[in-house]
Structure 1
Amino acid sequence: MARHLHLLRLLCLAVVVTAARAMFHFNFGNDLGHPFGGSSYTRHEIWRRAALASKARVARQTARLGKVLGKSGDISAADVTISPYADQGHWLTVGIGTPPQPSKLIIDIGSGLTWTQCKLLSPMARQLEPLYDPGKSSSFSLLPCSSKQCQEAVFTNKSCTNNKCLYENDYGSNVKASGVLASETFTFGVHRNVSLSALAFGCGKLSSGSIAGASGIMGLSPSPLSLITQLSIPRFSYCFTPFAERKTSPLMFGAKADLSKYKTAGPIQTISILRNPVEDIYYYVPLVGLSLGTKRLDVPAASLALKPDGTGGTVVDSGTTMANLVEPAFKELKKAVLETVKLPVANRTVEEYQLCFALPRGVSMDKVQTPPLRLHFDGGAEMVLPRDNFFQEPSPELMCLAVVQTPDSFAPSVIGNVQQQNMHVLYDVGNRKFSFAPTQCDQL
């Protein structure tokens, strides 16, 4: 437990507020744990597990989005192997309750509700910390069905029993989370801590699937029950260190989330965060084109655009390691990569990758030069991805494109966490702006 409490460190004065009634400045910074930090997996094994988790996550998100959009899609439980949730994203340990009980939560900007496994519901999934016990907290309170949080919340299923707001979220691929809505005090930090009372959260369980030792999810999406929305946090930022290095990554909220305060390796660029007219699960950005090196690919901007019916578009995600592109964009990129990379296409298939090259015997991917992948945004901004941000080495002598085609025609393209590595990104939620700058993240 001492290790987890150490991870709660925070350089901020102690403050206690009631989130539902008070306005305050939540200026918080801490290091996120790596999905594979402390594991004994090799670099190749990390990439394979991450790719599997990425495919499973996209399937879950697409299935969930399809239900919101009224589209069934082509994804079924048989399509994707269930993958541990913790293989997909970075994590932070927080204290829940009074006194605080440590809980390891996966940071997810594609989820709204923050929830933890709760003794009240006899969870099935195993976790590292002791199970959160609301009976040992003086600040725990169930939210009635008439509460604003229960009324506004959108779940796969929602019901009211004995004035308890019960929910169930189906993420596809046989992964389900259920629980009861409640309010509780959350503590960030231990020596100089910030305690936030009356935060709505899920006291629940993962009914099926796995979160690989984590306790739950911290939702940072634009939706009503996310930590960002409940606390009216104007902006937040993170800087993911290279995935294969298994280092911690900085996460900042409020005044600490300011790219101009930190050293960058390139210019700070800013684009708009788009609003989906149908759902509030994701942060959408205006991707309009792609280039490989200096060659602009023949990708129609309309194929990347967010449609009036809420389909398509491009989202930024914290938990997906593989980039996803709609069919026209992926086909053009695959064609350009085949023309550019002077290596034989691998004659063996690798699960989860759609294009791989055979490396010469005894040669690693580090020795292969490739032009950068450039993401062009409306207004002229350009995110430049070096080789390690769009290629991976899942097996010795094998180099694979870390970009795949979206699983369904209505699904958005996805800029994942590996594409964002060594990139300091900022979500200015209040002004609906997304900023980014190349940065040596382990030096922040």
Structure 2
Amino acid sequence: MLHITIFCNYIKFHTTFPKIVVTFLNKMSQFTLISLLFITINLTLYAAARVAGNHHNNNGKTTMILPLYNSIPKNASRRYLQSSRLPNARMKLHDDLLRNGYYTTRLWIGTPPQRFALIVDTGSTVTYVPCATCQQCGRHQDPKFQPDESSTYHPVKCNVDCTCDNERENCIYERQYAEMSSSSGVLGEDIVSFGNLSELVPQRAVFGCENVETGDLYSQHADGIIGLGRGDLSIVDQLVDKKVISDSFSLCYGGMDIGGGAMVLGGLSPPPDMVFSNSDPGRSPYYNIELKELHVAGKMLPLNPQVFNGKHGTVLDSGTTYAYLPEAAYLAFKDAIIQELHSLKQIPGPDPNYHDVCFSGAGSEVSELSKTFPAVDMVFVKKQKLTLSPENYLFRHGKVRGAYCLGIFQNGKDPTTLLGGIVVRNTLVTYDREKDKIGFWKTKCSELWQRLQLSGASPPISAGSEKTNSTAGISPTVAPSGPQETNTSGKQNIELITFSISLSINITSLEPRISELTEAISKELGANTSQVHLVNFLSDGNGTLLKWSVSPAGSATYMSNDTATDMISRLGEQKMHLPESFGSYKLVEWNAKLTPKRTWRQQHIAAVLASVLAMLILGLSAGGAWYIFRRHKQQSATSYKPVDAAVPEQELQPLQPL
């Protein structure tokens, strides 16, 4: 009753309604007023919905009328308010799964942006990088994050929703992982950029600024981790909560021959033949699938389907290298594989400390492995099936050429089924969190965007413009992407140089001397050691293929054309004089990534640069000094560490929303 009186008084004194309308309202019954009020509200909401709906109808969408709720729960808002036309962040993946144990992507934080190589991890919920204040951080790929040099950085102040430091000033985070490594530090907020291949513009996000790291996190080459798991601090959750991407992301890991790959934060149109499994967020805090059967060579393993449902169920974790099965499933799988390999000889593994199951005599061509090793089928609910190629369950023996080992192990006494990155090599995996399902599509991840177009699915965006060159028939690799920056003079210069060289020294002798080699190359190119970074190195026979990147010096965002031309010329003309102990080297390929908006003069310089280098390489080829390095990833003897209980990364304590 009081509400109706207030409504009438508001109309009397705060509108320009004619007096006759006010008189009419005063004489109306309370029931009629209530009805009028209800109709008015619904008509208003209907009109608003029609306006919003008309916009979508122009794009072929249907009108959606929202219910009359006072507020929409957090999870529901993701389902009702997300648009399929939202932008996404298309990002490249780098490194190699079995050489490094992980894949990384590039993220830029701060103003001006500071670049970091971060491990892609669906089992972690926090994104963090080493902080300038860190007293216990290892030497990583890039310099530590400098909060004082970013004009947009703000620490997350202590509040009731987070764990605070001892001074009760800032929020902190702490994370501990299955291999007994850990990370801790303070939480900060800054501008995060996703690279110039992304539609998504830079966004403010909360991340961890590390002060202490231990174990593998201390010794790894990568700078930190990008957390893609479920949680308020996850980069995915933060972008979804801002309503700048749809509630989905995708990963595509490269294969045994070609590493790298692609990542998409946000939605993409799935290929028509993508295979899906349900993923229940209430079943586990991790991304799970409903695995029911395993088939080897078309024969179903004699297992109770519940064997894949223990503890956390069947979990996908991109931050784990291999796969781990419960004891019964592992023994059945191993026996079935052995029974199919009558023509191969079982041999000891590369490391005597571990009882790897390995086989020799298969040959070195990955494309031929399916002629020797059986296909493995993962069967989901409703008989949806994902077929695994040999590269999805094998890794190369580090000491015997043409030998391979099972990359699927027993998960100790833990009943969880843990599927690491090896299982989804050359597979597009879409984590559709909005619809609680995960999709799988077999593809060559190095050709993902072209294959998506051929399949009839819409690619996320068109590719950016990058200058790429290759030599002697070697396929070029795309240079890492970064925020688009132009120098203050308006002229376009070179943001990054990447190049691959082959050395005649074998990988075993070379690996402990990488720092020495970096210093030698830096000196020969006239660069600082902080500019030259080893991206990857691979073994084949008695030689080693190494991929390097050269970034601008200091805080600069570009190199001059003269500097870049001199560096590449020294490489192409064999003018680098490395110590004799490293053997001879050959330039395999090079990439020069230029700043955007090239002028005619800059394009001309780039074309001349490419022509000069092509002539140099042709000259070397004619002289008999060139050979094509066959790109095969080689598994080292100690590049993995079985864990006692392989489970996704565990958090020391839950963190409430900030």
1:99 alignment partner, one of 87, 92, 112? 112
Q: CA 1:392 to 1:175, structure 2 compared with 1: closer, same or farther past 3 Å?
A: same
Contact 1:353–1:402 at 8 Å: present in 2 too? no
1:195 CA displacement: 4.5
1:258 to 2:269 alignment: yes
Corresponding residue for 2:64? Answer: none
Q: CA 1:440 to 1:124, structure 2 compared with 1: closer, same or farther past 3 Å?
A: closer
Corresponding residue for 1:424? Answer: 428
- Measure the CA separation in 1 of the matches of 2:274 and 2:293: 19
- Measure the CA separation in 2 of the matches of 1:361 and 1:221: 38
Corresponding residue for 2:440? Answer: 436
Q: CA 1:160 to 1:425, structure 2 compared with 1: closer, same or farther past 3 Å?
A: same
1:377 CA displacement: 1.0
- Measure the CA separation in 2 of the matches of 1:192 and 1:347: 46
Corresponding residue for 1:234? Answer: 247
- Measure the CA separation in 2 of the matches of 1:114 and 1:93: 12
- Measure the CA separation in 2 of the matches of 1:362 and 1:352: 25
- Measure the CA separation in 2 of the matches of 1:126 and 1:145: 30
Q: CA 1:241 to 1:347, structure 2 compared with 1: closer, same or farther past 3 Å?
A: closer
3-state SS in 1 of match to 2:422: coil
1:113 CA displacement: 0.5
Alignment of 1:239-250 (within 5 A): 239-246=252-259, 248-250=260-262
Corresponding residue for 1:27? Answer: 88
1:215 to 2:223 alignment: yes
- Measure the CA separation in 2 of the matches of 1:291 and 1:352: 30
Gaps of 5+ in 1: 1-21, 37-46, 51-86, 152-157
**One-letter amino acid matched to 1:166:** I
1:338 to 2:338 alignment: yes
Q: CA 1:104 to 1:348, structure 2 compared with 1: closer, same or farther past 3 Å?
A: closer
Larger mean Cα displacement after TM superposition, 313-322 or 426-435 = 313-322
1:351 CA displacement: 5.3
- Measure the CA separation in 1 of the matches of 2:363 and 2:256: 23
Q: CA 1:348 to 1:390, structure 2 compared with 1: closer, same or farther past 3 Å?
A: closer
- Measure the CA separation in 1 of the matches of 2:274 and 2:198: 32
1:250 CA displacement: 1.4
**TM-score computed with the length of structure 2 as normaliser:** 0.50
Corresponding residue for 2:317? Answer: 317
Q: CA 1:376 to 1:191, structure 2 compared with 1: closer, same or farther past 3 Å?
A: closer
- Measure the CA separation in 2 of the matches of 1:127 and 1:166: 22
Corresponding residue for 2:206? Answer: 200
Contact 1:125–1:205 at 8 Å: present in 2 too? no
Q: CA 1:399 to 1:92, structure 2 compared with 1: closer, same or farther past 3 Å?
A: closer
- Measure the CA separation in 2 of the matches of 1:30 and 1:177: 25
**One-letter amino acid matched to 2:385:** E
Gaps of 5+ in 2: 1-80, 241-245, 449-658
2:124 alignment partner, one of 111, 120, 126? 111
Q: CA 1:205 to 1:215, structure 2 compared with 1: closer, same or farther past 3 Å?
A: farther
1:361 CA displacement: 9.8
Alignment of 1:7-406 (within 5 A): 25-35=86-96, 47=98, 50=99, 87-146=100-159, 148=161, 150=162, 159-190=165-196, 194-209=200-215, 210=218, 212-232=220-240, 233-246=246-259, 248-255=260-267, 257-260=268-271, 267-277=273-283, 280=285, 282-306=286-310, 311-342=311-342, 343-347=344-348, 350=351, 354-360=355-361, 366=368, 369-394=372-397, 395-397=399-401, 398-406=403-411
- Measure the CA separation in 1 of the matches of 2:417 and 2:391: 19
Corresponding residue for 2:622? Answer: none
3-state SS in 1 of match to 2:424: coil
1:214 CA displacement: 2.0
- Measure the CA separation in 1 of the matches of 2:426 and 2:196: 29
1:259 CA displacement: 2.4
Q: Which has the higher contact order (CA 8 A, sep 6+)?
A: 1
1:387 CA displacement: 1.4
Q: CA 1:172 to 1:376, structure 2 compared with 1: closer, same or farther past 3 Å?
A: closer
1:190 CA displacement: 4.8
Larger mean Cα displacement after TM superposition, 390-399 or 426-435 = 390-399
Contact 2:134–2:212 at 8 Å: present in 1 too? no
Contact 1:178–1:206 at 8 Å: present in 2 too? yes
3-state SS in 1 of match to 2:372: coil
Contact 1:241–1:441 at 8 Å: present in 2 too? yes
More strand by share: 1
- Measure the CA separation in 1 of the matches of 2:327 and 2:363: 34
1:169 CA displacement: 1.8
3-state SS in 1 of match to 2:421: coil
Please list every run of at least 4 consecutive aligned residues from structure 1 whose deviation after the TM superposition is greater than 6 angstroms. Answer: 361-365
Q: CA 1:192 to 1:364, structure 2 compared with 1: closer, same or farther past 3 Å?
A: closer
Contact 1:167–1:181 at 8 Å: present in 2 too? yes
1:211 CA displacement: 5.1
Larger mean Cα displacement after TM superposition, 426-435 or 210-219 = 210-219
- Measure the CA separation in 2 of the matches of 1:88 and 1:359: 23
1:440 CA displacement: 2.1
3-state SS in 2 of match to 1:442: helix
**One-letter amino acid matched to 1:336:** A
3-state SS in 2 of match to 1:419: helix
3-state SS in 1 of match to 2:233: coil
1:369 CA displacement: 0.9
More helix by share: 2
Contact 2:395–2:407 at 8 Å: present in 1 too? yes
Aligned residue pairs, count:
354
Contact 2:307–2:326 at 8 Å: present in 1 too? yes
- Measure the CA separation in 2 of the matches of 1:416 and 1:323: 5
- Measure the CA separation in 2 of the matches of 1:214 and 1:363: 29
1:144 CA displacement: 2.1
3-state SS in 2 of match to 1:29: strand
**TM-score computed with the length of structure 1 as normaliser:** 0.73
Q: CA 1:390 to 1:142, structure 2 compared with 1: closer, same or farther past 3 Å?
A: same
